Amino acid sequence: MRVGTLIASGHDCLVFEAGAGKVVKRSRHGRSLEQEASIMRHARRNGIPTPEVFDADGPDLLMERLEGPSLRETALRRPDRLASYGRLLAELLRTVARVRAPGWLQGAGGCPGNRLLHLDLHPANVIVTAAGPRIVDWANAARGAPGADVACTWLILATTAVPEAPVPNWQEIMLGAFLDAVDVAAARPYLRVTAARWRADRAIEPAEQAEIDAFLSGGKLWAEGGNRMNEQPGAPARYEKVRGT
């Protein structure tokens, strides 16, 4: 596919302008993105807020350009709303979990089930648009038990350092609100399964591995039901109300 200016880059992919409100996501290593495109189409058809896909050809995926910051960027600017952003992640996972995975999608090892799993849903993979949040980066999607998706987000929030956080307990507030809004008991059995999959599927830096080991040893696990230090009055906000400006 013909592409314009490079606008974003990640470990596995590059994103280029493609004109008329579109972008091309291109694999750095030539990996086909056609299955990811099919997953995104399936998710969108079933009510999951994700970018529209226009075409896919080998390592190139042509999709809707989303205008807005990531949820991570939004949360760094608005630490006063961290709890609502944690609840937003929980609600997005519930939306994903309501969708049955297509029959051709591979299962997540050690996580039997028939629901669609994103398996990488964290604040940087949610874009806050004027129309509401959108979930991006479906490369890890699989079929399985919803608790495995919750465990993945739990592990990411608990072990990913945020050195630029504007308040010292930034992670704890978001994670605590997230745990208060999910089924912790259903997710807990998949924490070690998730960590083992990470070790097998990607290169993990020693510092990251140390964080994961500390978490799994129990030193950073919160009590059943979440971290009560961050409770705030009021009901969890519907995710449609979290919009860009």
pTM of the full structure = 0.88
How many percent of the chain have pLDDT more than 70? 88
The DSSP secondary structure of 147-197, one letter per residue, reads HHHHHHHHHHHHH---TT-SSTTHHHHHHHHHHHTS-HHHHGGGHHHHHHH
How many angstroms separate the CA atoms of 51 and 58, rounded? 19
Q: Where in the chain is the domain with CATH 3.90.1200?
A: 71-241
How many angstroms separate the CA atoms of 162 and 120, rounded? 17
How many angstroms separate the CA atoms of 179 and 4, rounded? 41
Q: What superfamily in CATH does domain 6-64 come from?
A: Phosphorylase Kinase; domain 1 (3.30.200.20)
Q: Where in the chain is the domain with CATH 3.30.200.20?
A: 6-64
Predicted local distance difference test score (pLDDT) of residue 236:
37
pLDDT digit string, tens, across residues 204-237: 778 788 888 888 887 455 544 444 333 332 333 3
For residue 189 the two structure tokens come to 């059995």
- pLDDT class for 243, splitting at 50, 70, 90? low
Helix or strand (DSSP H, E) at 10: none
How many percent of the chain have pLDDT more than 90? 71
**Residue 110 C-alpha from the chain's centroid:** 20
How many angstroms separate the CA atoms of 43 and 118, rounded? 10
Predicted local distance difference test score (pLDDT) of residue 138:
98
Domain at 71-241: CATH code: 3.90.1200
For residue 82 the two structure tokens come to 């961290």
For residue 174 the two structure tokens come to 């978001």
Residue type, 171: Q
Helix or strand (DSSP H, E) at 28: none
Helix or strand (DSSP H, E) at 210: helix 206-216
Helices 146-159 and 191-201 sit at what angle, rounded to 10 degrees? 70
How many angstroms separate the CA atoms of 51 and 67, rounded? 11
pLDDT digit string, tens, across residues 56-115: 999 999 999 999 999 999 999 999 999 999 999 999 999 999 999 999 999 998 999 999
